Structure 1
Amino acid sequence: MRRFPIALLSACSRLVLGAAQSADFPVPVQFPIHCNSTASLFRALEASLSPDAAVFYPGSEGFQTATKRWSELESPMADVLIVPATEDDVAKTVRQAHEYGFPVLAFNGVHGSITTLGGMKRGVAISLRQLSSVEVAEDGKTATIGGGTASKFVTDTLWEAGKQTVTGTCECVSYLGPALGGGHGWLQGHHGLVADQFTSMNVVLASGELRTINSSSDLWWAVKGAGQNFGIVTSVTVKAYDIEHTDWAIETLIFSGDSVEAVYETANKHFSDLDPSVINWSYWLNMPEVDPDRPVILFYIIQEGVTEVDPMYTKPFRDIGPLSCEAKSGTYRDLATWTGIAVDSPPCQKAGLANPRFPMYLRQYNVAAQREVYDIFAAEVGGDSPFSASLFMFEAYPQQGVRAVDRETTAFAFRDDSLLAAPLLTYAPAGKEREDEAKRIGNKLRNILRQGSGREELHAYVNYAYGDENSKGWYGHEPWRQDRLRELKRKYDPKYRFSFYAPVA
């Protein structure tokens, strides 16, 4: 086990801070932490872990590398980083940290950008990166995935075995990160959300107990949509499927801002109920080489099982008059590269930028609202704006597999919504004034879309959440949902140890 000297114990006498800085969220029980208890904890942890585990402290290269985040906004802070090599290492870490009153935060790809993470001002960070594995069962019907496995590794390993499952779309994020919040994926039209694939999991509870749970557990409902609140998943067994189609195709059309109404009217007409084999995404972004004055509309039409997207899907959009049109064919493993979210794509790089998102689900596009938010977005990110690298994302997935699951059987609450929209405001950190400006812009854009939807309630995808949406916005507005989450929280995490990622209120 690698050990690195303690570089930071100057604030030993401080109290452990609460889970979030808002009274809307519960606060973990506070424990006084003194230098002697801090040192005792770290010595005890190091002595108890397996030989391949690692321990890093602030100031070391290992700590900096492992904790560097994709979004440098409201980053969590920790006194020590544990890199467990076994599931039992995770359980030991949680038990001892909680015995000494330290909060715990587990992570893998460090792509979570929600501001509630900033509520962790000190404690024990756990990187699950060594728990990376994919094992296909002998019957080929399931696969067991380690808690720190990246999505690309899952996809590639299963593909080589002639199998696949639903994963998040972005290659560089972890498999379980998106899954615990529901998880959208390319194959959801056939099989449902990422979380819908779970058959069992090993999870370390707030007590430090390592338990295997499945559909017989009352906690099963909660981990499929609100899982970050209830424990650390060290491995999960999921459904695996034979690869039915090796061929995939995409057509990428670029439109000027003048085409907003035409593009989204046409999308409402032709993509209001997508075939399970078709996905439609669009981005608004600055491409000065195409349009030096305003953001363009980058419009993707993706189809499974073909080498060319069927003209019945592409012709209505070609008829609008795009600035350009490009067709490609390949396999499932090309999708992330085509859509700009592969491991080596710019959005997957940790470049020291802030990347807050402001998501909301929609049933269909309100074309007038699309025009209004486009004009505001263009004004805010144009020219020499500090937000010029920003995107506005619109994701439309087929919903048949998602809606086939009874919406009352999981904590993921928004199975009836068809579209996921989110401005992603990218900027170099420059203090609170810029942070506040990004928050103002993002919420203004989101509120226009919400008002255009005719719905008072905010339905927000928790994996994209900014942090101010509240528990109802993340997990559903029905009172029974909130009551059930609170009841399970009291049972499994009564001291609110796991309360830094979209906490249950």
Structure 2
Amino acid sequence: MRRFEVALLLSACALCAVSCNSCPENCESPDGLFRELRNSLSRAAVVYLPGSEEFEAATTRWSELDTPTVNVVVVPATEDDVVDTVRQANNCGVPILTFNGVHGSITTLVAQDGKTATIGGGASSKTVTDALWASGKQTVTGTCECVSYLGPALGGGHGWLQGHHGLIADQFVSVNIVLADGSRQTIDSSSDLWWAIKGAGHNFGIVTSVIAKVYDIEHRDWAIETLIFSGDKVQAVYEVANKYLSNLPVDITNWSYWLNIPDADPDRPVILFYIIQEGVTVVDPAYTSPFRDIGPISSEAKSGSYRDLATWTEVAVDLPPCQKAGLANPRFPIYLREYDVAAQREAYDTFAANVGENSPFSASIFMFEAYPQQGVRAIDSELTAFAFRNENLLTAPLLTYKPAGKELDDQAARIGNQLRDIIYRSSGHKELHAYVNYAYGDEKPENWYGYEQWRRVRLRGLKQKYDPEGLFNFFAPIG
């Protein structure tokens, strides 16, 4: 049975000394907390302490930037294990970070009635996709196979099928959640917390399972055209993208990356450009021909099924982006309505100047994601904590490097924010809208959750009601 982990962070004894007048005996050391947890959890649950190989494997992160200090890791086997872990953490005044990354589910994914499925809290996007596909069903998941189903969902969650059905969070029918007080509740649209779960859910508890909408597979055929352009074509590429790939039809998705591919261009980053179409075996030339006319270095057409998309776009579970390789991977996201061609040129030149062969950031990429928006916009923005339903493009530089101290971390932050600022200054927006699941961490809550005052008031009120001590404050806190 594959699982997610619950990490108990920082020094238990130190935290108890600060937060309690009398420190409970089991808080005096990680060993004491370990014993209490082992006595209270189910037989199938596992608890790891520092020094073990299992602890090291469980706490290794995809991005090694500002990694938290973990004292105890709990691998729950049941939803009640999560309840017991939260209660023990509360007794000790120890904060919690829940993560699942590339792990599977603590409960089996079960189809209910042909319209919904129960999905465990640790299920990966690939697990969900494969299990549903075998039953002739599908739902909106994240695009990257190794990413968990619920991680992106709690921040809204973009996916290949969002043009039809909306965000991942829009598929929720009900949620089992362990709250900060250690209680386990099932919440749905009748709960005041329902609104917050869909866009800011990581601030309110540990979601152990959800019932989500599923759909009959409408199209088994998918096709992709992959084009590679040299950097001098950057303005032409995005000018044509504005003309032919804005307000995408429901069956078209467009991604592009800037990255180093020495075999294509040994001197500067190239533009790797994907046009993906659903329900066909060849992408409609109406979309591909204008880009071929620009003069790419290469172009390649493929056909297959929905399950091939992650491999085609290089985010499959067995490919390098899904591996934990001890690298730092900060991103600096910004939503856009359309490309500013001059800004794309400036950003490309700045990116190229900082990611050359001899740079510590040579493995970095600049990401541009354009999904169909019909299903996302069909839902009133006021109905969810996810606020940015009117944006067309999700962009983010991703600075990848081997950690080597604060100076290099600071350099990465300067480059990433410089690149984002170039795009932001040209956008004409007075507000910086940032996808919370890609957040770097120096953004403000309004950048993640919306600038409307009522949103901030509502989120803070719910936080005070459900997590007044800030037990779940590690990821993009509401403030």
- Normalized against structure 1, the TM-score is what? 0.90
Distance 2:197 2:478 in 1: 12
Give the corresponding residue for 2:416.
442
- 1:109 maps to 2:101: yes
Structure 1 contact 84–130 (Cα < 8 Å) conserved: no
Q: Secondary structure at the match of 2:459?
A: helix
- Aligned mate of 1:372, from 337, 346, 356: 346
- Aligned mate of 1:92, from 84, 95, 98: 84
Distance 2:405 2:430 in 1: 32
Change (3 A) 1:467 1:12: closer
Distance 2:175 2:62 in 1: 27
Q: Which amino acid aligns with 2:121?
A: G
The root-mean-square deviation of aligned C-alpha atoms, in Å, is 1.7
Distance 1:216 1:315 in 2: 50
Q: Which amino acid aligns with 1:107?
A: F
Change (3 A) 1:13 1:176: closer
Q: CA deviation at 1:41?
A: 3.2
Structure 2 contact 335–433 (Cα < 8 Å) conserved: yes
- 1:133 maps to 2:108: yes
Structure 1 contact 254–298 (Cα < 8 Å) conserved: yes
Change (3 A) 1:11 1:213: closer
Q: CA deviation at 1:498?
A: 0.4
Q: Which amino acid aligns with 1:349?
A: Q
CA displacement 1:372-408 (0-9 Å, x = unmatched): 0000000000130000000000000000000000000
For 1:186-335, what aligned pairs fall within 5 Å after superposition? 186-335=160-309
Q: CA deviation at 1:132?
A: 4.6
Q: Which amino acid aligns with 1:353?
A: L
Distance 1:35 1:77 in 2: 22
Give the corresponding residue for 1:14.
14
CA displacement 1:32-69 (0-9 Å, x = unmatched): 76875235433221111111000100110111111110
Give the corresponding residue for 2:376.
402
Structure 1 contact 106–232 (Cα < 8 Å) conserved: yes
Q: CA deviation at 1:330?
A: 0.2
Q: CA deviation at 1:243?
A: 0.2
Distance 2:20 2:290 in 1: 62
Structure 2 contact 229–298 (Cα < 8 Å) conserved: yes
Distance 1:201 1:36 in 2: 31
- 1:60 maps to 2:46: no
Give the corresponding residue for 1:427.
401
Q: Secondary structure at the match of 1:15?
A: helix
Change (3 A) 1:141 1:95: same
Give the corresponding residue for 1:79.
71
Q: Which amino acid aligns with 2:101?
A: G
Give the corresponding residue for 1:114.
none
- Aligned mate of 1:48, from 40, 44, 49: 40
Structure 1 contact 230–493 (Cα < 8 Å) conserved: yes
CA displacement 1:281-301 (0-9 Å, x = unmatched): 000000111101100000000
Change (3 A) 1:308 1:31: farther
CA displacement 1:270-322 (0-9 Å, x = unmatched): 11110111000000000111101100000000000000000011011111111
- 1:37 maps to 2:21: no
Q: Which amino acid aligns with 2:173?
A: T
Distance 1:432 1:31 in 2: 33
Query: Does 488-497 or 40-49 show the bigger shift?
Result: 40-49
Give the corresponding residue for 2:331.
357
For 1:138-157, what aligned pairs fall within 5 Å after superposition? 139-157=113-131
Distance 1:36 1:202 in 2: 28
Distance 2:296 2:78 in 1: 53
Q: Which amino acid aligns with 1:384?
A: N
Give the corresponding residue for 2:434.
460
CA displacement 1:300-354 (0-9 Å, x = unmatched): 0000000000001101111111110000000000000000000011100100000
Distance 2:455 2:405 in 1: 37
Q: Secondary structure at the match of 1:254?
A: strand
How many corresponding residue pairs? 469
Give the corresponding residue for 1:480.
454
Structure 1 contact 247–329 (Cα < 8 Å) conserved: yes
Structure 1 contact 85–130 (Cα < 8 Å) conserved: no
Give the corresponding residue for 1:120.
none
Structure 2 contact 9–70 (Cα < 8 Å) conserved: no
Change (3 A) 1:164 1:78: same
Q: CA deviation at 1:86?
A: 0.1
Q: Secondary structure at the match of 2:237?
A: helix
Change (3 A) 1:349 1:9: closer
Q: Which runs of 5+ in 1 are unaligned?
A: 1-7, 18-28, 111-127
Give the corresponding residue for 1:23.
none
CA displacement 1:86-144 (0-9 Å, x = unmatched): 0000001101110121111111017xxxxxxxxxxxxxxxxx8551521101x200011
After the TM superposition, which segments of 4 or more aligned residues of structure 1 sit over 3 Å from their partners? 8-13, 29-36, 38-41
Change (3 A) 1:34 1:89: closer
Structure 2 contact 10–94 (Cα < 8 Å) conserved: no
Q: Secondary structure at the match of 1:287?
A: coil
Change (3 A) 1:148 1:449: same
Distance 1:106 1:10 in 2: 14
Structure 2 contact 177–185 (Cα < 8 Å) conserved: yes
Q: Which runs of 5+ in 2 are unaligned?
A: 1-7
CA displacement 1:145-170 (0-9 Å, x = unmatched): 00011110000000000000000000
Q: Secondary structure at the match of 1:79?
A: strand
Q: Which amino acid aligns with 1:103?
A: P
User: Identity of counterpart residues, as a percentage?
Assistant: 69
Change (3 A) 1:129 1:100: farther
CA displacement 1:400-453 (0-9 Å, x = unmatched): 000000000000000011000000000000000000000000000001100000
Structure 1 contact 9–35 (Cα < 8 Å) conserved: no
Distance 2:184 2:293 in 1: 58
Query: Does 181-190 or 91-100 show the bigger shift?
Result: 91-100
- Normalized against structure 2, the TM-score is what? 0.95
Distance 1:446 1:132 in 2: 40
